[in-house]
Amino acid sequence: MASTDLDPLLLLRQSIASGSNIIPTTSADTSSSAAAAEATLSQATHLLFTHPSRVAITIDAPTRFVSNEKTVDVRSIYFAWLNREVAIPEYNAAATKLNEELPGSTEVHKFAFVERLELFTWLEGASEESEYIKPLAGEKDGAAVSTATTSAALKAAPVSSSARAGRGTLDPRLAQIYSGERRMGDRNTVLRGIRPTDFSHVRKLAQQFMSRKPGPAAGAMLPNNPALALNQKPQRRPDPIILLSPSASSLLRMSNVKSFLEGGRYSPPDHNSTSTMLHISRTMKDIDPSRPMRFILVEGPEQFKPEYWNRVVAVFTTGQAWQFKNYRWSNPTDLFKHVLGVYLGWRGEQPPDAVKSFGHRVLPCSVEKWRDPSLPGAESSRWRDREVVESIWKAIEGNMRAKGWRKDAAPTSI
């Protein structure tokens, strides 16, 4: 069996896509009878996957997910997935309880909120890459494999092979068609052959001609540092972060902010909601008109790393100073010198004096008071909600451009 077929992250992603069982067990036996021997995560020694084939993986085995330069084990990944619907404080409490039950010095990794979001997005198939997940060896070295080797691998592959990138199993009829395809070579095999050619000597010959051109552009086109990689992969632009107010009196909470900022319609929040983070998409035409930007929304910075503050683009507030207790800048006046503030209230009512004292960096907005949709004329004024939403996004986009957000880069300091 190929090494990619035994990759724990890929097996977990395939099992989630197909809805098949994942069984913690105390045995490496993959027979059907082993399904009855389900164990708790504190006692299990293996994780049994039933799709695309029955495979048992050691539960302490490392995965390709890396946090703080350390690999995360299978148990921690699976435990985080089981608790994906709970709030971060409840998840941390459950992880602490499990660590107390585990023998010896073994313990599960506690994911930060951005790590959890990246992990769940990748496992659900909504993303094909993550800054925390290392690519498979075949994904990095595939360009150096010869055409003959690739063709032989296609012929040797079984008809019912596992799916590519964890999207489910491949139809047997399609697998048979693919096995007869004519394999096209890449630039290494067509232009250079199987063995890559070193063209570094051309760099030295060209440098004397480039140095004769006046202006700084010539030096910029050909760096003098020989250690600089010729084909560096550009870093992925991080997702901007919006902080909401956790106050119960706030008109915008995690339960209704998505429908407001994405759909342009206000509805009252559901105070029974336990979600603590989500993401929404918005196209910022003046920053990146070719693709929408993904914004992370969270109510508190408890799981923030110091560098996350450079990604905060807006803070929604009700004017209550206790909201900023755990912020990087706990003084509201200092905070809103670095980050755009937004206050949302009812139309016809004045913002609180505390909001006014924060200064002009807090954008006051107001929506029509909520009325029961069954009442006559209740929906006649809701069209104004979209106007308010567009004014908020316009202010956020202007602030992002001023702070240094670009199509392929984010600010390193705000």
How many distinct helices (H) and strands (E) make up the chain?
14, 11
- What are the respective helix, strand and coil percentages of the chain, to the nearest 5? 35, 15, 50
pLDDT one-digit tens code per residue, 328-354 = 999 999 999 999 999 999 999 999 999
Rounded-to-integer distance, Cα 341 and Cα 357, Å: 12
Return the domain boundaries, the chain: 3-134, 139-191, 241-403
Confidence at residue 171, expressed as pLDDT on a 0 to 100 scale: 66
Mean pLDDT within 308-319:
94
Rounded-to-integer distance, Cα 398 and Cα 28, Å: 57
Whole-angstrom CA distances from 240 to 203, 332, 393 are 38, 20, 13
pLDDT one-digit tens code per residue, 152-175 = 433 444 433 433 434 445 566 777
DSSP single-letter state for residue 133: B
Task: Identify the band that residue 138 occupies on the pLDDT scale cut at 50, 70 and 90.
Answer: low
- Kindly report the pTM of this predicted structure: 0.48
Mean pLDDT within 128-147:
65
Residue 164: name the closest of 14, 280, 42 by CA: 14
Rounded-to-integer distance, Cα 163 and Cα 64, Å: 19
What is the identity of the amino acid at 118? Answer: E
Whole-angstrom CA distances from 202 to 193, 216, 227 are 19, 21, 16
Q: Residue 189: is its pLDDT beyond 90?
A: no
Furthest CA-CA distance within the chain: 80
Q: Residue 405: is its pLDDT beyond 70?
A: yes
Q: Taking each helix axis from N to C terminus, what angle separates 147-156 and 172-179, rounded to the nearest 10 degrees?
A: 150
Q: Which residues pair with 341 in a beta bridge?
A: 315, 362
- At residue 241, φ and ψ (nearest 5 deg) are -120, 135
Q: Are 248 and 271 in contact (CB under 8 A)?
A: yes
Task: Give Cβ neighbours of residue 46 (< 8 Å, ≥ 6 apart).
Answer: 24, 25, 26, 27, 28, 56, 57, 58, 59
Average the pLDDT over each of 77-81, 98-102, 193-197 and give the range with the smallest value: 193-197
Q: Residue 213: is its pLDDT beyond 60?
A: no
| Fold of domain 241-403 | Rossmann fold (3.40.50)
Residue 96: name the closest of 110, 86, 78, 116 by CA: 110
